[in-house]
Amino acid sequence: MKQGPGGVTAPKGFQAAGVHCGVKRGKGDGNQPPMSRMPEVLDSKKDLALIVSEQPCVAAAVYTMNRVKAAPLYVTMDHLENGEAQGIVANSGNANACAPNSHEHAERMCQLAAAATGLKPGDFVVASTGVIGQELNIAAIEKGMPEAARALSRDGSDAAANAIMTTDTVKKEMSVTCAIGGKTVTIGAIAKGSGMIHPNMGTMLCFVTTDCAVTHELLSEALHEIIPRTFNRVTVDGDTSTNDMCVVLANGMAGNPLIEWKDDGYTVFLKALRQLCQELARAIAGDGEGASRLITCAVREARSEESAERLAKAVVGSPLVKAAMFGTDANWGRVLCAMGYSKAPFRPEYVDISFSSAVGAVAVCRGGMGLDFDEEAARSILSQDEVVIDVHLHEGEHEATCWGCDLTYEYVKINGDYRI
């Protein structure tokens, strides 16, 4: 299994594009903040993405569990009732949620994409991301769609990845390849997510493409198995978005034997898809709004995977833990405190805690009690781009890993004037 570039156009038969149509006009529409590490995105303000397959695809999706759902999700749910799709159209800069004519605008986006590509409106998944409660500038999308269609290319994944960014500071794009039945199968993806990340489904927008030949039933089952162990284990700020969606399109052009049973081919495909989703989940956590470092919490030797996940998610989601990580303060008591209110069963007197990073590791708690440790060494460890909080419960054989980020002044600045 190999990881590589190319994103959604890495698999055979897929083209993509990203253009500026005018939905984004400034910071207040969800454009990148001044701290963006991608000035080319700030300059172009790409805000309309298009992904199209040469062949019809089987499709599967997972959606936000927020009771308030954006109109594009309902339209996509309707279009995917038959388990098929051939394209994705998405805008950034406006969520098209809780706003006038939102359902009509979502349907209109599919109609425009269909007219520009020669497909049918029902062939498209539609997505939006940005500010909630403001009417979508559909006239801008009407004007920009022909340009997006003309720009479709095998090299268009980068532009599409840029076009779905809001407060992201870096694009999220990758692909993996694996061998199934003697054929090379490729899975590619682009994703966005930086704030309002606390999933009960799929965290953000993630568009996955593959040339694997697989039935809709097994594609859907694979996605639903992977999401809880990847994207659902990320938290940035405790808020679950109205627009979260993860969609997979599979066109079968790799020529592998059709995966219609849970055989060796399915196992290989599942492993590759999980690797892809896990790396994107880590990228989203590390690019949390205002974040300066990725925080990973691994809980081991738990009574069950469910309890391990609950404990790890409580730790990476704790504002006090996140603030301590920002300040490079090895305040392990906050870790144990977060575990205590997680409602997961564990014995505090059995707990060991350590912090680690690329420069070393330090044990700070054993058997629920504090250890003497070198504060300066701990501060050096916590100052790295990725910090791991290792928790050993000594109660079972199960484990889970969750991802988050630190809580910085920049997060408050970004969200204090998001619409201004």
Please indicate, yes or no, whether residues 322 and 274 belong to a single structural domain of this protein.
Answer: no
Contact (Cβ atoms closer than 8 angstroms) between residue 189 and residue 230: no
Residue 102 gets the label, from left (phi > 0), alpha (psi -120 to 50) or beta, of alpha
Q: For the chain, which ranges sit under pLDDT 50? A: 27-43, 195-203, 237-239
Q: Cα–Cα distance between 140 and 358 in angstroms, integer?
A: 47
Please indicate, yes or no, whether residues 97 and 218 belong to a single structural domain of this protein.
Answer: yes
pLDDT at residue 200, as a whole number = 43
Closest CA to 209 of 85, 343, 70: 85
Contact (Cβ atoms closer than 8 angstroms) between residue 117 and residue 52: yes
pLDDT at residue 417, as a whole number = 58
Please indicate, yes or no, whether residues 138 and 266 belong to a single structural domain of this protein.
Answer: yes
pLDDT at residue 371, as a whole number = 97
Q: Cα–Cα distance between 10 and 405 in angstroms, integer?
A: 30
Question: What CATH number does residue 383 fall under?
Answer: 3.10.20.340
pLDDT 10s digits, 47-97: 999 999 999 999 999 997 777 788 999 999 999 999 999 999 999 999 999
pLDDT at residue 204, as a whole number = 75
The neighbouring-strand residues paired with 231 are none
Kindly report the pTM of this predicted structure: 0.85
Please indicate, yes or no, whether residues 117 and 205 belong to a single structural domain of this protein.
Answer: yes
Q: For residue 109, what are its two tokens?
A: 């986006």
Q: Cα–Cα distance between 49 and 138 in angstroms, integer?
A: 14
pLDDT at residue 283, as a whole number = 86
Q: DSSP label at 102?
A: H
Please indicate, yes or no, whether residues 307 and 352 belong to a single structural domain of this protein.
Answer: yes
CA distances from 94 to 49, 97, 275, 305, 396 (A): 13, 8, 30, 37, 46
Q: For residue 172, what are its two tokens?
A: 């999220």
Please indicate, yes or no, whether residues 206 and 302 belong to a single structural domain of this protein.
Answer: no
15 — phi, psi (to 5°)?
Answer: -125, 155
Question: Domain boundary at 286, 305, 335, which?
Answer: 286
| H or E element that contains 157 | helix 157-163
Please indicate, yes or no, whether residues 211 and 253 belong to a single structural domain of this protein.
Answer: yes
pLDDT at residue 39, as a whole number = 45
Sign, CA dihedral 149-151-157-159, equals: negative
Question: Domain boundary at 286, 303, 324, which?
Answer: 286
Query: Which residues are part of the catalytic machinery?
Result: 203
pLDDT at residue 65, as a whole number = 73
Please indicate, yes or no, whether residues 262 and 367 belong to a single structural domain of this protein.
Answer: no
Question: Domain boundary at 235, 255, 286, which?
Answer: 286
Domain of residue 359 covers 294-416
Question: What CATH number does residue 179 fall under?
Answer: 3.60.70.12
Please indicate, yes or no, whether residues 43 and 176 belong to a single structural domain of this protein.
Answer: yes
Q: Cα–Cα distance between 79 and 34 in angstroms, integer?
A: 37
| H or E element that contains 161 | helix 157-163
% of the chain at pLDDT higher than 70:
87
Q: Cα–Cα distance between 247 and 244 in angstroms, integer?
A: 10
pLDDT at residue 34, as a whole number = 37
How many separate domains does the chain show? 2
pLDDT at residue 44, as a whole number = 57
Please indicate, yes or no, whether residues 231 and 352 belong to a single structural domain of this protein.
Answer: no
Please indicate, yes or no, whether residues 305 and 177 belong to a single structural domain of this protein.
Answer: no
Q: DSSP label at 67?
A: S
Please indicate, yes or no, whether residues 125 and 152 belong to a single structural domain of this protein.
Answer: yes
pLDDT 10s digits, 234-264: 875 444 556 688 999 999 999 999 999 999 9
The total number of residues written for the chain in this structure: 420
